[in-house]
Amino acid sequence: MADSKPLFSPDGDPMAAEALLRDVFGIVVDEVIRKGTSASEKVCEWKEPEELRRLLDLELRSEGEAAEQILARCREVIHYSVKTCHPHFFNQLFSGLDPHALAGRIVTESLNTSQYTYEIAPVFVLMEEEVLKKLRSLVGWSSGDGVFCPGGSISNMYAVNLARYQRYPDCKQRGLRALPPLALFASKECHYSIKKGAAFLGLGTDSVRVVKTDERGKMIPEDLERQISLAEAEGAVPFLVSATSGTTVLGAFDPLEAIADVCQHHGLWLHVDAAWGGSVLLSQTHRHLLDGIQRADSVAWNPHKLLTAGLQCSALLLRDTSNLLRRCHGSQASYLFQQDKFYDVALDTGDKVVQCGRRVDCLKLWLMWKAQGGQGLERRVDQAFALAWYLVEELKKREGFELIMEPEFVNVCFWFVPPSLRGKQESPDYSERLAKVAPVLKERMVKEGSMMIGYQPHGTRGNFFRMVVANPALTRADMDFLLNELERLGQDL
């Protein structure tokens, strides 16, 4: 006979399970939300991999552990994890912590449903529809379609797949043998997911034709025209252009109107990867950076970045109203998408996507929007721009800081030139020595836990820092700290 005890907790005691969760939430509030967002605490507690493995005791054993030990495990996980909500975490395009978005994430995880049918996710099916409608309206569309995807890379891959299917619908059944050699076009500053997507979809990375950019990292429309002509001359069939609004390193915005003209002339699908820059659409002051986006066929937009909705929150938006998503990806699984249900089966959105199970990603954005309002989110975007400009002006005042270029977004790229290299730009090994500075400073800051900021080489430029101003809790004092800390860490170099 089956055990009749509830399985909510290891010992079958619901009260103990509730107590455990309350204790865990208390730890999260203390260690992540309170300490993790405090400038007086460390961003990270660096340990070498072998030491960290030993400290965490990662082995999974046959016997379970007591609640006290489980709580200690939670504390350890938090202690040794990077606090991306910290005001001195500048390392990625996401940072910070919005309490309303976090509340939405907690509710989402607690309800543990899948966003594929109205039957099991009625609230979230309607909510996703409304949130996507709002995002589309900011792009400039009064109708269309869309879906939340597991990250911007997948949103970009969806766009490529949809563009291919629209032109060659037989490929869904017949595969690659139904296709001529295809060509898609993206700038050399595009996200690496474009080439990954081409490989994943069987097009091959050679199908991605790289378009030149200007000195600011923007796609050059004239070279796009040249690349299209070259591809056609080589026997390939152009089908998609992927423009970028907010490139990963320089924060560049491609000239969408001119690119849209080229696409319209050649009958090509225009996708805009606005995963990073899409949130600028909320700002009346800065949305001109995306002028022309309304002419796109598809847009990728990650509110988990500049809007701080929390990982992950990535929308693919479509201008299409012909149910292209469902036609391209649908398989009509009869055990899930029965056509004789007692409600409108058009609400079963799961057949639009390549996933079966799909997490709910709309609630955190919806709840944050409800709390902040569009005006509050607009202020958040404008404040990021203002702080980035403040940082640039302060950087110019200090010896040893060299700006890569004047930013048009919230990516501030610069070199820190240590005392030993100042005034030695004419030395033959200057660039080589300068390129070694950022990795050394990165190691020092991480091992001290004082801050985190990314660096990279770029084209002919050696390693430089990319400062990202995204956390809505940042202040001018945090910008000053960044500059002071680099000076402190690099004073002996």
Each residue's pLDDT expressed in tens, for the chain with a length of 493 residues? 444 444 455 567 889 999 999 999 999 999 999 999 999 999 999 999 999 999 999 999 999 999 999 999 999 999 999 999 999 999 999 999 999 999 999 999 999 999 999 999 999 999 999 999 999 999 999 999 999 999 999 999 999 999 999 999 999 999 999 999 999 999 999 999 999 999 999 999 999 999 999 999 999 999 999 999 999 999 999 999 999 999 999 999 999 999 999 999 999 999 999 999 999 999 999 999 999 999 999 999 999 999 999 999 999 999 999 999 999 999 999 999 999 999 999 999 999 999 999 999 999 999 999 999 999 999 999 999 999 999 999 999 999 999 999 999 999 999 999 999 999 999 999 999 999 999 999 999 999 999 999 999 999 999 999 999 999 999 999 999 999 999 999 999 9
Element (H, E) at 467: strand 461-468
Nearest to 350 by CA among 372, 366, 330, 367: 330
Nearest to 467 by CA among 449, 442, 443, 436: 442
- Total residue length of the chain: 493
Helix locations, 285-417, DSSP H: 324-329, 363-397
Nearest to 493 by CA among 413, 417, 423: 417
363-397 vs 476-490: helix axis angle to the nearest 10?
Answer: 60
DSSP code at position 108: H
What is the reported pLDDT for 7? 45
Q: How far apart are the first and last CA of the chain?
A: 73
DSSP code at position 3: -
Going from the C-alpha of 217 to that of each of 91, 190, 251, 408, 435, the distances in angstroms are 21, 9, 8, 11, 20
Give the three-state DSSP class for 36: coil
Nearest to 281 by CA among 383, 154, 137, 130: 137
d(CA 454, CA 456): 7
Q: Strands 452-458 and 461-468, how do they pair?
A: antiparallel
Going from the C-alpha of 407 to that of each of 182, 264, 455, the distances in angstroms are 35, 30, 16
Cα 217–389–134 angle (5° rounding)? 75
- Cβ within 8 Å of residue 340, ≥6 positions away: none
Give the three-state DSSP class for 471: coil
- 417 exposed, middle or buried (CB, 10 Å; 0-12, 13-18, 19+)? buried
Residue type, 2: A
Decide if 238 contacts 226 (C-beta within 8 A). no
Nearest to 244 by CA among 277, 207, 282, 266: 277
Residues facing 464 on adjacent strands: 456
What is the reported pLDDT for 12? 72
In b/e form, how buried is each residue of 169-186, taking b as 16+ CB within 10 angstroms? eebbeeeeeebeebbbbb
CA dihedral sign, ordered 377, 383, 385, 391: negative
- State residue 134 phi and psi, 5-degree precision: -65, -45
Nearest to 203 by CA among 222, 227, 178: 178
- Cβ within 8 Å of residue 290, ≥6 positions away: 245, 253, 256, 272, 274, 277, 278, 280, 281
CA dihedral sign, ordered 300, 198, 262, 180: negative
d(CA 394, CA 397): 5
d(CA 137, CA 175): 35
- 3 exposed, middle or buried (CB, 10 Å; 0-12, 13-18, 19+)? exposed
Going from the C-alpha of 96 to that of each of 33, 310, 311, the distances in angstroms are 10, 9, 11
Give the three-state DSSP class for 179: coil
Decide if 301 contacts 275 (C-beta within 8 A). yes
Going from the C-alpha of 422 to that of each of 316, 427, 433, 440, the distances in angstroms are 47, 11, 11, 17
What is the reported pLDDT for 2? 47
- Which tokens is 258 given? 């001119």
DSSP code at position 346: G
